[in-house]
Amino acid sequence: MTTGASPSIPMVMGILNVTPDSFSDGGRFLEPDAAVLHGVELFAEGASIIDVGGESTRPGAAPVDAAEEIRRVVPVIERLVAHGRVSIDTRKPEVARAAVAAGATLINDVSAELWTVAADLGVGWVAMHMQGEPATMQVEPTYDDVVAEVCEFLDQRAAQAERAGVTEVWIDPGFGFGKTHQHNLDLLAHLDRVVALGRPVLVGTSRKATLGRILADSDRVPDPVDPTDRLAGSIATEVWAMHRGAAMVRAHDVRAAVQAARVVAA
């Protein structure tokens, strides 16, 4: 049974990175067979949608050219769409077009630049907020008022997309994308203001660095807790986000996130 059909149960977007260098699952699903198998598992665990990505956007990640990104994601999407809904996690119009031709129906766009592509292709679009570029975004993120600035940006981009004719527009505050530890916490604390913008909100905190730091403090260890050991922090923040009104969370640990969503809804 999946959570996708009920509007009252928050949805879970399962993460499938077909990359050698993603921060928590890099290299595990680079082979198409392994990627498809994992995607099918995530659907079975209750994911409403699987987000396929061919370029890591972790801080400092090296950019990938469009041809290589397409080579990674298209064979996986073509096979995965038989099992459920697929989104493409990309910043490149060529990759978005190839992914939609392969069957993806949502463009998850961390650059928030591709709304005309989504309008043209007649698919959904996620506008995520990012300050700067992945290569340098964590060098010195600066805001006067992070919550107000992120809200204003997302509201403008969503309105632009709606005017262009995109009928399914999601907004995402972009946890960890050009944000300090405190910026991330401020955005989570005031997530109700993002929800109040009136569009469905997606939140991606899964296994991210801010959690590694909080969990290290809780374990009284000096170094951030390893990404694969951040489940409790991921679920805590996902529950918080769902309770504040997020309609979907983007998660590596789909089974636990789906269970959490059901408990929150109950």
Summary count for the chain: helices (H), strands (E): 10, 8
Helices in the chain by DSSP H: which ranges?
32-44, 66-80, 93-101, 115-121, 146-164, 181-189, 191-195, 209-219, 231-243, 254-265
**Nearest residue (CB) to ligand HH2, 1 versus 74:** 74
Determine the residue with CB nearest ligand HH2.
204
Q: Annotated catalytic, 179? A: no
| Interface positions, 182-211, toward ligand HH2 (CB under 6 A) | 202, 204
**Nearest residue (CB) to ligand HH2, 3 versus 57:** 57
The distance of Cα 166 from the centroid of its chain, to the nearest Å, equals 19
Comparing C-alpha atoms, which of 180, 169, 28, 29 is closest to residue 107?
169
Q: How would you label 146-174 residue by residue, b for 16+ Cβ within 10 Å and e otherwise? A: bbeebbebbbebbebbeeeebeebbbbbb
Distance CA 70, CA 53 (A): 10
Min dist CB 6 to ligand HH2, Å, is: 22
Could you say whether residue 131 binds ligand HH2 (CB under 6 A)?
Answer: no
Handedness of CA 173, 174, 180, 184 (dihedral sign): positive
Min dist CB 107 to ligand HH2, Å, is: 10
**Nearest residue (CB) to ligand HH2, 89 versus 258:** 89
Distance CA 19, CA 154 (A): 28
Catalytic position from the list 71, 208, 213, 244: 208
Q: Annotated catalytic, 208? A: yes
Could you say whether residue 19 binds ligand HH2 (CB under 6 A)?
Answer: yes
**Nearest residue (CB) to ligand HH2, 60 versus 122:** 60
Min dist CB 77 to ligand HH2, Å, is: 16
Min dist CB 220 to ligand HH2, Å, is: 27
Comparing C-alpha atoms, which of 147, 152, 97 is closest to residue 121?
97
Distance CA 29, CA 35 (A): 5
Could you say whether residue 23 binds ligand HH2 (CB under 6 A)?
Answer: yes
x/- mask, ligand HH2, residues 86-125, rule CB under 6 A, reads: ---x------------------x-x---------------
Active site residues: 208, 250
Applying CB under 6 A, the residues found at the interface with ligand HH2 are 15, 17, 19, 22-24, 53, 56-58, 89, 108, 110, 126, 128, 172, 174-175, 202, 204, 250
